[in-house]
Amino acid sequence: MLIGKAGTATTSISTADAAGVTVRGKDLCSDLMGRLGFTEYFYLLVTGREPSREQRFFLDLLLVSIAEHGLVPTNQVARMTYGAHHQEPFISTNPNRLVPVLEDGDFQLTESSAILKYPADKNDMPEYPRDLQKRAKVNEAMDWFNTNFYREWGYNLCYPQLFPRHKRPTDEGQKVVVEWGLDKSAFWLQVLNDHWLGDGRPYLTGDETTIADYLASSLVALGELIRYDLSKYPNVKGWLDNVKALENWGPVSAALDGFAASIKEQEFIAG
Ligand SMILES: N[C@@H](CCC(=O)N[C@@H](CS)C(=O)NCC(=O)O)C(=O)O
């Protein structure tokens, strides 16, 4: 049985002839080999462009975290679904039995908010501004998402429907939790829409992207897994679209996309 399109297989990623191999328009032997590291080469293959220093750094972080969970994003999701983060060797790394965990040499760090701040500080990135008050607003947004929004959206609405480990033991228990999550999430989404993003700003704390956008977008995008309709919250939808238009959204959200594809037949309770 033929799998894929009929006819001769072609790709615009690379070509070869008797004289050489060209990858994304660059000569493999005389240019790429020895000059690019594997992560940079991977980025070039996927996007057609060479990464900036920051892009390579974050792709490395992503790949290391994915490797920790089983090499490809879908394995990461499958391992979480089946509870590998509740077993050794992971629980010695993070006794909280949660992802993410950052490792920088021997240094280990848990908590997504702290994890985003560490490389931003280490590399003096503009996404975590040095200015006292600008930085305080970024911290405020990150805390708001992690403690208010995520509690209801993640742990009461999305996770009980997505992960068997979070499903409540009785149908009634499950119904109460999910309906609670739905109701409270609507409240927090309205606050996000009217208060945080009410003045039409493109990003959470103003005109520039910050690590608060990185944290928050990955949380809000969880709703796509349960097919939550954000159209009642146009500012939230517009902001999420802005973040998704950023260059690195594709590779960063690959795990979520793979997970969404694997549950596309499943039915969910969502707003
Ligand atoms: N406070 C933690 C929460 C992390 C968290 O909730 N991680 C979720 C996935 S994003 C998880 O590992 N869930 C697995 C589980 O609950 O079994 C942080 O911000 O890093």
Question: What are the boundaries of each domain within the chain?
Answer: 14-82, 132-262
pLDDT at residue 3, as a whole number: 60
Residue nearest to atom 5 of ligand 1 (CA): 98
Q: What would the pLDDT profile of 169-193 be if each residue is shown by its tens digit?
A: 999 999 999 999 999 999 999 999 9
- Mean pLDDT of the residues in the chain: 89
Confidence of residue 1 (pLDDT cuts 50, 70, 90): low
Measured in angstroms, how far is the CA atom of residue 23 from the centroid of ligand 1?
39
Alpha-carbon span 228 to 268, nearest angstrom? 9
pLDDT at residue 147, as a whole number: 97
Q: What would the pLDDT profile of 24-41 be if each residue is shown by its tens digit?
A: 999 999 999 999 999 999
Q: Is 56 in the pocket of ligand 1 (CB under 6 A)?
A: no
pLDDT at residue 16, as a whole number: 86
Percent of the chain with pLDDT over 70: 90
pLDDT at residue 88, as a whole number: 82
CB count, 10 Å around CB of 92?
7
Measured in angstroms, how far is the CA atom of residue 136 from the centroid of ligand 1?
24
| Biggest distance spanned by C-alpha atoms of the chain | 68
Q: Is 120 in the pocket of ligand 1 (CB under 6 A)?
A: no
The model scores a pTM over 0.85: no
Alpha-carbon span 141 to 188, nearest angstrom? 13
* 83 has a pLDDT exceeding 80: no
Q: Which two tokens stand for residue 113?
A: 């908010």
CATH architecture of 132-262: Up-down Bundle (1.20)
Residue of 188, 262, 199, 201 whose CA lies nearest to 232: 188
Q: Is 79 in the pocket of ligand 1 (CB under 6 A)?
A: no
Strand 20-23 to strand 101-104: parallel, antiparallel, or no bridges (unpaired)?
Answer: unpaired
Please give the residue that has the higher pLDDT: either 221 or 54: 221
Residue nearest to atom 1 of ligand 1 (CA): 111
- Summary count for the chain: helices (H), strands (E): 14, 5
